[in-house]
Structure 1
């Protein structure tokens, strides 16, 4: 039986939803599957014994800093077949196309053989909202996209992209945003509404939150995923900086999933302009 390890980093749930979809589709294809949230992987886990599927959201046109740190700590392997799938709110357009370059290079230096890369699109959770209709369409098409990628990997299809030099350069420069992410985390404000339940500490994918005297304390390792702010059961967390990027009404993937299935939606009208061209292409293909 073929085996695959699925490792993911997820903030507000989009990448986790995709990862669990892959878990189901690979099992249906006859694979033995091990699914890991990145921060919960056993330190002595051996990645030599199975293929690897790595999933992460696009942050600052690149991978979250936590992903780079995880790869750095990996032991060297020998010829582990690997696929890298990124998740973004804008799709495979400039400059998102280079969001896997750095990660793939680092994996290959560790002995992983990356033969497949692809991007999935999920509802945007910061900056500019995709709106309920477009978000629902993206959730509806996810199972089909996951199945296509699963089929490709299962039969050994190779898919590697060649991002433009300008995309690579922009992605490299944009990594400076990781510094801003650390500052963002340190400036998160905790209101009196906080009950000390510890939800944020438990769910932080970066392990950046600790509970002290019944209140969350934020370290220097924030990846700007916004999971704690959107997910706090008491809505007790507020952005101390970068407030314009955080949706005032929050972001709740489960709420979007409850929107009734859509029929005859006008994708051309919903995804106007270059900023949404990647989403439009993704939904139409």
Structure 2
């Protein structure tokens, strides 16, 4: 069994690790642009991801389109949100999978607290822990269901308005790192480079440089140990967020 997960601040990794604890043989595979075509031969696989702009993260959609199936596995999907709700991620995954002759077998949405620092303030560690604890029973029930290969009929429909918003965000909002900047607190540790899923960051002449391929995951901003990365001036006084049960070194490549 394999669980393919996409994470920037650790929430989806936390969920993936909780699921893994319940299976004797289970590999966790981090989704990034470095993954080539994946041929699925397992009888059971999982896909775990955060909700991005009412839908799938860009890299998750790219990855699922590259998947090939040699069988008809039990496929479970977990969508981790910051408190919002949308069926569009599930719908889009199932739409892609059906073209490959497979479909979602079971799915669940787990709600924590938003850590999208571009648009709001990150939660305190205490609030983050409480949100995780509040969702633990729901997650445990889902884990029990997938250990029993329970089938959950897929009846989700897309929301046309939020589907359009997501498509505009994905396809038209190209300069996501336009206002990213790095102050003098930077120590050139390279964590931003190692955590970036799209290979968008490099160090040139001792300075961190963003190359215009940002997927808006906020990973680099949150993982920086010196809070040196900001979006204009809007994030300078905002707390950074990492899942309180995940270590920094678990989020790098």
Give the shorter-chain TM-score range.
0.7 to 0.9
Q: How does 1:99-110 map to 2 (within 5 A)?
A: 99-110=89-100
What is the correspondence of 1:148-163 to structure 2 with a 5 Å cutoff? 148-163=141-156
Matches within 5 A, 1:96-175: 96-126=86-116, 127-129=119-121, 132=124, 134-164=127-157, 167-175=159-167
Deviates more, 1:116-125 or 1:39-48: 39-48
> How much has 1:251 moved relative to structure 2?
2.2
In the TM superposition, residue 78 of structure 1 has moved relative to its aligned partner by 2.9
| Mapping 1:40-119, distance limit 5 Å | 43=36, 45-92=38-85, 96-119=86-109
TM-score (norm 2): 0.83
**SS of equivalent residue, structure 2 residue 227:** coil
Equivalent-residue separation in structure 1 for 2:237 and 2:87 (angstroms): 25
Aligned counterparts of 2:153 and 2:206: Cα–Cα separation in 1? 48
The question of whether the paired residues in 2 share the 8 Å contact of 1:89 and 1:124 is answered with yes
Instruction: Using structure 1 for the length normalisation, give the TM-score.
Output: 0.75
- Count of residues in Structure 1 that have an aligned counterpart in Structure 2: 244
Is residue 2:196 matched to residue 1:201? no
Aligned partners of 2:188 and 2:162: how far apart in 1?
40
Please list every run of at least 4 consecutive aligned residues from structure 1 whose deviation after the TM superposition is greater than 4 angstroms. Answer: 128-134
Secondary structure of 1:225's counterpart equals: coil
* Structure with a larger share of its residues in helix: 1
* 8 Å CA contact retained: 1:18, 1:142: no
Q: Which residue, 2, 6, 15 being the options, matches 1:5? A: 2
Check the 8 A contact 2:55/2:89 in 1, yes or no. yes
Are the equivalent residues in 2 in contact too, given 1:7–1:37 (CA < 8 A)?
Answer: yes
1:149-178 residue CA offsets vs partner (Å, 9 max, x unmatched) = 12111212122453455x244223322112
Distance 1:6 1:247 in 2: 36
Whether contact under 8 Å (1:136, 1:256) holds in the other structure is no
- Where do 5+ consecutive residues of structure 2 fail to align? 248-253
* Correspondent of 1:249 among 236, 239, 243: 239
Q: What's the secondary structure of 2:39's corresponding residue?
A: coil
In the alignment, is the contact (CA less than 8 A) between 2:54 and 2:166 conserved in 1? yes
Match of 1:37 in 2: 30
Deviation at residue 53 of structure 1 after TM alignment? 0.3
In the TM superposition, what is the alpha-carbon distance from 1:88 to its structure 2 partner? 0.3
Between the aligned partners of 1:14 and 1:20, the Cα distance in structure 2 is 10
Distance 1:11 1:136 in 2: 17
Instruction: Report deviation, 1:104.
Output: 1.7
Distance across 2 between alignment mates of 1:36 and 1:147: 21
C-alpha distance in 1 between matches for 2:135 and 2:22 = 12
Residues 50-94 of structure 1 deviation map (CA, whole Å, 9 limit, x = unaligned)? 3110011000100111011112222344312211110001244xx
In 2, Cα distance between equivalents of 1:177 and 1:155: 38
Return the offset for 1:119.
0.4
Asked whether the equivalents of residues 201 and 211 of structure 2 are also in contact (C-alpha less than 8 Å), the reply is: yes
RMSD between aligned residues = 2.9
